[in-house]
Chains A and B, each alone.
Chain A
Amino acid sequence: MSALLEVDGLRVKLPTPTGFVTVVDGVDYQVEHAQVFGVAGESGSGKTISMLALLGLLPSGSVVEGRASFGGKDLLRLRNRELRAVAGREIGMVFQDPMTSLHPMLSIGRQLTDHVRRHLGLDREAAARRAEQLLEQVRIPDPASALRAYPHQFSGGMRQRIAIAIALACGPRLLIADEPTTALDVTVQAGILRLLDELRRERELSVILITHDLAVMSSIADRVSIFYAGRVVESGPRSEVLQHPRHPYTRALLDALPHPEAARDTPLIAIKGTPPTPQQVPSGCPYHPRCLFAVDVCATVDPPLAPVNGRRLACHVDPFR
C-alpha cells in the first residue's frame, strides 16, 4: 500500500527584508496509514514551517518547491480553494498552546460546530450532536455542558483535548500535532499521548507529531525523522533510530535528556553552541561546527541522506556504525 502522505524534495524560502531565506532545504518523508510519524529537532530547525507549507499557511511571497502527494493530489500544486477543501476536511492541525489556538470569546460549541457546518454541510442540530460526540471521543467529562462553556473555564490539558476535537471534527485522515504537549504537565502530557495513540488505533488516524522532546517521540512514534537546519539528518523506525542512533546529532540530543534509569550523577551533556539561524547555515554538513566527530570533508561537502541498513543517514563519518 502506498503512503498516505509522500513529501519529496520540499524546499521553503521565506521572504525577509534582506532577501529570501531558505528555511527548509530539501526534505523527504512518508507518513503511513494509521501510524505516528515523529519529527524532532531544536527550535528553528524548520519542523513547523515544513508542515505549514503543506497546508498553504506560509506568509505570502514564500517560495515552496517539491512535491507533497496526499491521496493522489499534490498539495503544493493545488489552488487556494482546492487546498482549503482538501486540507480543511482531511488534515487536522493542533498547535502547541491551546490558549492561543482557541478563540477566547466563543463557546466551545460554537468553535466545534462552525467547522463541521462549513465543511460537512450539517444543519444546526446535527452539528451540535456531532460536537458532543467529538468531545466524548477526546474524553471530556460532561460534553453537553462543556459545549456551552468557554476556553478559560478549562485546564490546559482539557483545552488541548478540545483543540484535538476541533481538529478531528471533519473526520480527517491526517492529524498534524505541533508540540501538542510542550506546554503541559507531565501527567497531563501522558493523557494526551494516550489519547493520540487511541485515535491512531481506533480511528486509523495518521499522526505527524512534531516535538523537540525525544522522550515524547520515543513513547508513541512508529517512524521518526531528525531535523537539523532545515534538513533531515537521520530517519527510520523509532526503535532503530532511538536505540542505536547513528547521527552524532541524534546521539547528542539523546545525551542531553535526563534519563530516568541513569545514575543521578551522570551529568546531562549539552550540545556545544547553538543551532544556526536560517540566515547563517554553515557550509558542508550544517552540524559540523557543533559535532564532536567532524573531519575536514564535513566543512565542505553536505552529506546526502543515504540509506544504510533500514534507515537513512546524512553523515560522512558515521561514528556509531
Chain B
Amino acid sequence: MTGPALELRDVEVVYERRGRERVRAVAGASLTVERGQIVGLVGESGCGKSSLARAAVGLVRPAAGSVLFEGREVTPLTRRARPRELARLQMVFQNPYSSLNPRRRVGSQLADALDALELAPRCGRRARVEELLGLVGLPAAAAARYPHQFSGGQRQRIAVARALAAEPSVLVLDEPLASLDASAQAQLANLLVDLSRRLSLSLLLISHDLAIVRHVADVVSVMYLGVMVERGPTQPLWSIPLHPYTEALIGAVPRPDGRGALPAALPGEVPDPARPPAACRFHPRCPYAFERCSRDDPVLLEVAPGRSAACWLQTGEEPPAPPAVQARRLSLVRAEE
C-alpha cells in the first residue's frame, strides 16, 4: 500500500444549534499523517482540534471535505457495524477516568476489545491481554484489578492498551497527557514514541502544550479557530516559528529554569467560532497585524521546503524568518514604495 496513513482534506465540521447560528468548529482544515509518523496538532481550547480528531475517526460527520484512512473513505459511525478495516484506526480520549468502565476488571475490558473484533481465540485471549499490558509497561497482574486501583498515568496506559488490542495502524490521541503529573506525563510521552517506532504505528497527538509535543512529534500542525495556520517539522518550527500564533504559543510556555521570568501572555481571548473575525482569523490578537490582514484571508502556503504558514508576513521570497523579522523587512519594503 502507498499513500499516507491518514489524510484529512478541507474538512469542515459544523454544529447546528436550535434558534442560534450554526458553528463552524472546523472551517476547512487539511492534515496528513504519513505511515509511522507522529503528528502533533496544537492549539488553544475551542480551536476545533478535538472536533477535527472526532471527524478523523468518524465520530462526527464532516459537513464538507474528506477523511481517508489508508486511502479509503472513513464513514461516520452509525448503528451498523463499522467496516472491519476501520478498526485499525483507533482513538484514545483525554480522561481515562471516564473512558474506562469503573466496575469491570482491566483484563475483561481488554478482552472485550479482542472479542469484538474476533482477534484472539478464547484460549489465546489471556496471553494476548498480558501481552497488551506488557506493551504499555504494566504487569500481567494488572488484568485482575479495577481502574480505580491505578494512578492517572497508569489508567491512561490501560486506555492505550485497549486501543492497541485492535492492532491499529493509526492512533488518534486527544489530549492524552493533559491530566497527568510531570513524571507520569514523561512516562506516557516516552511510551508513545516507543510504541510508534516499535509497531510502526502512526500517531495523531492532540495537545494544547507545545512543549511536550515538541518532545514527541515529528511534525506539528498548529490550528487556530478552525483553520490550520502553520505546519512544519517539529524542530525548525520550534526554533523559528513562522506564524505569529505559533510564536505566541511558544512564548507562553513557562520555563523551569529558576530565573523567575513570567511567560508572555497573548492578549484577548479565542473569539466565538460562530462569529469568527473577517479575513485572517488571528488578526485582532496579532501584534504584527497590518491593513491587509483585516482585508484578505491568507491561505496555508508552502513558504520553505516542508514548512507552510497562513500569514501575510510570510511571502516565501526570503528564507524563513520569525514574524518580527518578517514584519521589519516588509515595513521597509512598504516605506520604499
Q: Is the interface of A mostly helix, strand, loop or mixed?
A: helix
Q: A43: CB under 8 A from chain B?
A: yes
Residue of B nearest to A242 (CB): B258
Chain B contacts of A267 at CB under 8 A?
Answer: 190, 215
Max chain B Cβ within 10 angstroms of own Cβ: one of A157, A191, A261: A191
Chain A contacts of B214 at CB under 8 A?
Answer: 258, 260, 264
Size bracket of the B interface: 35 or more
Cα distance A136–B230 when bound, in Å? 35
Q: B331: CB under 8 A from chain A?
A: no
Per-position binary interface string of chain B over residues 83-98, scored 1 when its CB falls under 8 Å from any chain A CB and 0 otherwise: 0000000000000000
Q: A120: CB under 8 A from chain B?
A: no
B-contacting residues, A4-20, CB 8 Å: none
Residue of A nearest to B270 (CB): A155
Q: Do A190 and B262 touch (CB < 8 A)?
A: yes
Quick one: which of A220, A252, A264, A268 contacts B190, CB cutoff 8 A?
A268
Quick one: which of A155, A197, A261, A266 contacts B269, CB cutoff 8 A?
A155
Chain B contacts of A156 at CB under 8 A?
Answer: 45
Size bracket of the A interface: 35 or more
Q: B37: CB under 8 A from chain A?
A: no
Q: Do B254 and A218 touch (CB < 8 A)?
A: yes
Q: Do A242 and B45 touch (CB < 8 A)?
A: no
Q: Do A193 and B189 touch (CB < 8 A)?
A: no
Cα distance A197–B261 when bound, in Å? 11
Q: Do A219 and B261 touch (CB < 8 A)?
A: yes
Q: Do B254 and A256 touch (CB < 8 A)?
A: no
Chain B contacts of A274 at CB under 8 A?
Answer: 151, 153-154, 184
Quick one: which of A155, A241, A260 contacts B258, CB cutoff 8 A?
A241
Q: Do B259 and A256 touch (CB < 8 A)?
A: no
Q: A42: CB under 8 A from chain B?
A: yes
Q: A253: CB under 8 A from chain B?
A: yes
Cα distance A42–B183 when bound, in Å? 8
Cα distance A274–B153 when bound, in Å? 9
Q: A254: CB under 8 A from chain B?
A: yes
B-contacting residues, A143-165, CB 8 Å: 155-158
Q: B139: CB under 8 A from chain A?
A: no
| B100 smallest CB distance to A (angstroms) | 17
25 A-B pairs within 8 Å (CB atoms) are namely A43-B152, A186-B209, A186-B249, A189-B254, A190-B252, A190-B263, A190-B265, A193-B254, A193-B263, A194-B262, A194-B265, A213-B254, A215-B253, A242-B256, A243-B258, A253-B183, A256-B186, A257-B186, A258-B211, A258-B215, A259-B257, A260-B253, A264-B215, A264-B235, A274-B151
Chain B residues close to A by CB (< 8 Å): 44-46, 151-154, 181-187, 189-190, 208-212, 214-215, 234-235, 238, 248-266, 269-270
